[in-house]
Structure 1
């Protein structure tokens, strides 16, 4: 087995050096809704760049010029923008981007494999994005290290104090790693990510999700003691039934000292459907924590205000910023799925 040096994956609320986005383009599933989706991406990008550096993976040189022109019309400070060329299949950089760990004073980007959520979609370009960015020095002085397993950042929640929260159906999926490889990955996680406890979630599903249940649609650490989670109103029978058992499982989880977690329920928006009538996985748990703020997806829904209010109570000292994501969720993800934070150097 490959030997890895020990590292620590910082919590999302730890100081960040930048956020990475992979920008939507016409050579992907976004072609039919690109204008509307890109308008939301511009707002999302500007909200990030107002507070910290932003790295954008563009599909080619023409695409980079186009993205630069769109961002030039916002109040995003140009000095905080890095636009690099890294061809992609899709935008979900939470899963195809780097997991940056700290090893002493060094930052190392772990480049796990990505196979389109178990072979559901083409992903050969996405799988190369991290290396492509590194070869252009777009990630700065961060070292790159390949890891021989498939792992997606959307299924990892860490509290910065040694606890990892993940969903079993995704992490142990045989379409990602065969059983022996999955066990090897589990054995390596304490060294790779600096975690001592793995808390499993294996109940609950956000309808329309195609990742086999990423944790970032279900339950999120707001701090080491607080979990915000997706909780459907019983009147939404379809989603309420799909989430059956999640709340009780979260109530049974314990912190390292034996105390239960403080649980904060987040509502579910009214059902959104694509043109084929398929329900979309709209949820509020897919927020992104950045320096000084929490960017929360909104869907032009009456539940938006309640979700924003509840998350504001979880993040004292950070501004809770609503970011429209109704078009983004049309391809089955939201803000957290479409972004990856790069931690600051120690």
Structure 2
């Protein structure tokens, strides 16, 4: 088998920026626009302490408004790029590009097909966003288009050739029905330099639209540590599947044959939509690693503090920053879903030099 040209970067690799997609005024967030904007503002303010932020916005009016808002917060112009681009929704994790490096550590971005999680929601504009940003001069590295349907939230890597993912997502016939497991593995080996696949057969969250994205369940914190969702409530409907997932994680081995260091994350109380009562996918696994910090979703729940403390043990050299995501789960995602890290060397600094 041919050697891969690229290596998929882990989230803790040095970053240029965090990518966000601002909600459209007439989009799915319309009924609670001010709430989600407040959450995104908090993410931006937490990010600019450590790195830059790139935000796609729907029109020039929003661009001007956000420029004024963040200037009032004291955000320097060179820390924020506001790019007008057509979008469908806010989930940058799944329509953003994936960062890789070649054999000489030169960065590149791979642009996969995004179909709204298997055709559940409109996604034509989101699918084109990476190329739209390329045309706007945002990227400073090569961008390569792929034909595989793949979302960033569906995969985790240790940056050393191991991929952690779920069967329910990557093998779902609503994504790539013409490809079987072996064919998907072959494509990811070729694209990402993957040598080992850790497939989870169990684990899900009620209210999740993604068909069990790995970033809702289990995450690499470093090459030998995995933080994961643990349900201790035997009366909860999630208990059997998450307990089975825990046993799978315990059975996984590192490339050197050693077991992983596993950090269980607490189980928040059940959260329900206030309008129709369906359960919402609250999870502490949906954290974001940035330069020098880890942003962690919180839900106004008694488990928030234990979750922050657990992740502090996983990231002793990073600042733990809580972000209230009570509003985010109303649209069935959380913090990590809203964001995409952009590795060092991928951004054109000129887009930050011109005031919005």
TM range, smaller chain:
over 0.9
The 8 Å contact of residues 4 and 192 in structure 1, kept in 2 or not, is answered as no
Using the alignment, how far apart are the partners of 2:68 and 2:244 within structure 1? 47
Per the alignment, do residues 268 and 149 of structure 1 end up closer, same or farther by CA in structure 2, a change over 3 Å counting? same
- Who is 1:161 aligned against? 160
- Who is 1:199 aligned against? 198
Per the alignment, do residues 161 and 263 of structure 1 end up closer, same or farther by CA in structure 2, a change over 3 Å counting? same
Please report the RMSD computed on the Cα atoms of aligned residues, expressed in angstroms: 1.7
- Who is 2:289 aligned against? 289
Q: Which has the higher contact order (CA 8 A, sep 6+)?
A: 2
- Who is 1:278 aligned against? 278
**Matching of residue 26 in structure 1 with residue 25 in structure 2:** yes
- 1:261-317 Cα offsets, whole Å, 9 max, x none, are 111110122111111111110110000000000000011111100000000001011
The 8 Å contact of residues 165 and 199 in structure 1, kept in 2 or not, is answered as yes
Q: Which moved more, 1:291-300 or 1:181-190?
A: 181-190
The 8 Å contact of residues 172 and 179 in structure 1, kept in 2 or not, is answered as no
Q: CA deviation at 1:242?
A: 4.5
Structure 2 SS opposite 1:125:
helix
The 8 Å contact of residues 10 and 160 in structure 1, kept in 2 or not, is answered as yes
Using the alignment, how far apart are the partners of 1:181 and 1:243 within structure 2? 25
Using the alignment, how far apart are the partners of 1:108 and 1:214 within structure 2? 24
Q: CA deviation at 1:174?
A: 1.2
- Who is 1:74 aligned against? 73
The 8 Å contact of residues 21 and 91 in structure 1, kept in 2 or not, is answered as yes
The 8 Å contact of residues 3 and 193 in structure 2, kept in 1 or not, is answered as no
Aligned positions of 1:1-346 closer than 5 A: 6-103=5-102, 104-139=104-139, 141-180=140-179, 183-234=182-233, 237-274=236-273, 275-345=275-345
The 8 Å contact of residues 4 and 192 in structure 2, kept in 1 or not, is answered as no
Using the alignment, how far apart are the partners of 2:4 and 2:260 within structure 1? 31
The 8 Å contact of residues 50 and 75 in structure 1, kept in 2 or not, is answered as no
Q: CA deviation at 1:4?
A: 9.8
Per the alignment, do residues 183 and 62 of structure 1 end up closer, same or farther by CA in structure 2, a change over 3 Å counting? farther
Unaligned runs of 5+ in 1: none
The 8 Å contact of residues 95 and 151 in structure 2, kept in 1 or not, is answered as yes
Q: CA deviation at 1:183?
A: 4.5
Using the alignment, how far apart are the partners of 2:181 and 2:91 within structure 1? 22
The 8 Å contact of residues 105 and 345 in structure 1, kept in 2 or not, is answered as no
Using the alignment, how far apart are the partners of 2:285 and 2:74 within structure 1? 27
Aligned residues: 343
Unaligned runs of 5+ in 2: 347-356
Q: CA deviation at 1:10?
A: 1.1
The 8 Å contact of residues 4 and 189 in structure 2, kept in 1 or not, is answered as no
The 8 Å contact of residues 46 and 75 in structure 1, kept in 2 or not, is answered as no
The 8 Å contact of residues 50 and 76 in structure 1, kept in 2 or not, is answered as no
Structure 1 SS opposite 2:143:
strand
Using the alignment, how far apart are the partners of 2:264 and 2:124 within structure 1? 37
